[in-house]
Structure 1
Amino acid sequence: MSKFFVPNVSHSEDPILFECDESYNSKTEILKYLIQFVYLSIGAFLNSAIIYTVCVKNRKVYRQNSFFIFFSMDCGVSLILLLSNIFFDRPFIYITPICPLLNEYFSTPLVFFKFIMVLSHHCKICKSVIQSLLVLNRMTSVLFPINHNRMWMKNVQWIVPLVLLIPLSVDWNLVISRAYMMPTYGGFWVNYIKKVSWVRKAFCVGKEKNFQASQSLFQLVFIIIALSFTFICTFVTLYTLILLPKRLRDLEKSITIVTIINSAAFSTVGVFHILFNFFSFNTMVTSVFALTLFAYDFLNVG
């Protein structure tokens, strides 16, 4: 990723020109995309299969279980992110021959790619909210094994739309911003010019600088909240599960294992998000950016 690319514009409609980084080997980069295409496609198929099973094939069975309602929502959000990566993000980043052909064409304000960017960030925040719900749901299932599902199903009709609406509280930051293409590895991808200013301490360089409101920082707030829920609820769930009678423990074990695996993947995303936000002044930012992408792949495919 080209860390030091700064768009030079005096007006929001001005074209933003950039040069492609030709130091990357095209064959190697395309091979990277093909490898990612394979596992992302497998992930998209598996998420689609789960959604079909839960929401269509066995809908009468699963729609009465609050966990599977939230889990199918998570799969739906993951599917959107995977399709975005398969058809938009990764091709433009890794299929490097298209960069010199299209870089001038993408110098003007981008409406469609701005929509893709907003949708992707919206879905990532949805995943943080859903992660909190999944671990909280599992915790209540072992604390209140008899009444827990009835308790959730009474409120699920407003929880579901709330999950989709909460990210709107920070989407405005992208909606009002100018989207533009910037060199990213050997290709290019969309970024945005931030319009809202704030000040935060750049601890890694030991001095205070003026920065604009970053969507990644907004995401980090939701991730930290979700991680707090994850650590507390997972600890309570595992501790309580040990104390349950063997019959009840066996009933909860499979779903709890799925939740723990999902929590581990989400925690990985959280770690790299923290590194990306607080070490963005360090030369390691390029590798952290890539690792954050792959952490999301692990979360969405897994």
Structure 2
Amino acid sequence: MDSLASITQLIIDVSIQRVTIYIPQLCPFLYSTFETYAFIPNVYFIVYNYMRAAKSVIQVFLTVNRMTCVLAPLRYSRIWRKFIPFAIGIIALSPFLVIWNVIISDTFPASIFGGFTLAYTKRVRWASLSLFQMTLMIFSLIITIFTSSITLFKMRRLENRLKSSERTLCLASFYMSTAFLSAAVFQSYFAFFNIAAASTNLFYFLQGFAFDVLNVGSPIVMILISGQLRYHVIPVKQLAPKHSTVVSVSSVSRKG
């Protein structure tokens, strides 16, 4: 589900969101299309922000899942076999608590970087999408730090410490925490400050970059920590893993 949320955002970014902002030559055509088929911008704006909210919720369950694996390895499978339907329900429904005002409001184009992006009219004035997104991201950040700390503490107390796994966990937690924190900071600007200010364009650009880092976070972490995967992605000899272990399993049949 994390991959689905990230890929959906990236597809919308590449096909619509960034096109309308950074390729002004296409703006007249897209603008007229959005005016003629008003449901298109409404749907993609809702889906885009739904996936952003879902990303934060998914991160919470990923870190809790990892913590459970370390704290209760023998009961891990049984716990999550029962809990997964509940988790899927929360992931699917909780983003509506963030985007409900977007759903009932109308979207309109807002000029930025020589192109345009979509904004919404805020039918309920106090229900700010940026404020809700920021709150959810901060909650996800707190849970990530808390569960990762417990997981790391438990791993360090193992009789046979897995230092490489500890290092991997620290790297992954630091990366995702930084990504969520930066995205939340930029969301706070749009939640609390005047978006008509001259600095809005810069913050909008940086916010997009922060979400890009967040969306590609998992693959980047995997490439950084896995020498074999890194070598497959970038087949350069200097990046090849120094040591590789091959384990073979053979079956022995007994003659009766």
Aligned to 2:183: 269
Aligned to 1:209: none
**C-alpha displacement at 1:167, in angstroms?**
1.2
Relative to 1, partners in 2 of residues 1:170 and 1:229: Cα closer, same or farther, differing over 3 Å? same
Quick check: 1:237 aligned with 2:151? yes
Aligned to 1:201: none
Aligned to 2:137: 223
Give TM-score, length-normalised by structure 1. Answer: 0.64
Aligned to 1:193: 121
Cα distance in 1, alignment partners of residues 77 and 5 from structure 2:
23
Cα distance in 2, alignment partners of residues 153 and 289 from structure 1:
41
Percent of residue pairs bearing the same amino acid type: 34
Rg: which structure is higher?
Answer: 2
2:152 corresponds to which letter in structure 1? L
Which of 60, 63, 68 aligns to 1:135? It is 63
Quick check: 1:295 aligned with 2:223? no
Query: Deviations 1:40-99 (Å, cap 9, x if unpaired)?
Result: xxxxxxxxxxxxxxxxxxxxxxxxxxxxxxxxx111110000000010101111111123
Aligned to 1:162: 90
Cα distance in 2, alignment partners of residues 231 and 259 from structure 1:
7
Aligned to 1:246: 160
Give TM-score, length-normalised by structure 2. Answer: 0.74
Q: Aligned-pair RMSD on alpha carbons?
A: 2.4
Higher helix share: 2
Cα distance in 1, alignment partners of residues 166 and 31 from structure 2:
53
- Answer whether contact 2:68 2:76 (CA < 8 A) is retained: yes
Relative to 1, partners in 2 of residues 1:167 and 1:177: Cα closer, same or farther, differing over 3 Å? same
User: Which runs of no fewer than 5 residues in structure 1 stay unpaired?
Assistant: 1-72, 199-212
1:152 corresponds to which letter in structure 2? W
User: Which runs of no fewer than 5 residues in structure 2 stay unpaired?
Assistant: 218-256
Cα distance in 2, alignment partners of residues 215 and 194 from structure 1:
9
Superposed, which structure 2 residues align to 1:59-208 within 5 Å? 73-100=1-28, 103=31, 106-107=34-35, 110-198=38-126
Query: Deviations 1:12-39 (Å, cap 9, x if unpaired)?
Result: xxxxxxxxxxxxxxxxxxxxxxxxxxxx
Cα distance in 1, alignment partners of residues 24 and 61 from structure 2:
40
Relative to 1, partners in 2 of residues 1:108 and 1:193: Cα closer, same or farther, differing over 3 Å? farther
Relative to 1, partners in 2 of residues 1:276 and 1:169: Cα closer, same or farther, differing over 3 Å? closer
Q: Which runs of 4+ in 1 moved over 6 A?
A: none
**C-alpha displacement at 1:257, in angstroms?**
4.3
1:110 corresponds to which letter in structure 2? A
- Answer whether contact 2:53 2:98 (CA < 8 A) is retained: no
Cα distance in 2, alignment partners of residues 129 and 75 from structure 1:
13
**C-alpha displacement at 1:100, in angstroms?**
4.3
Aligned to 2:232: none
1:227 corresponds to which letter in structure 2? L
Query: Deviations 1:143-178 (Å, cap 9, x if unpaired)?
Result: 223323331222112211321111123332112111
Secondary structure of the corresponding residue to residue 46 of structure 2: helix
Comparing both chains, which one has the higher relative contact order based on Cα–Cα distances under 8 Å and sequence gaps of 6 or more? 1
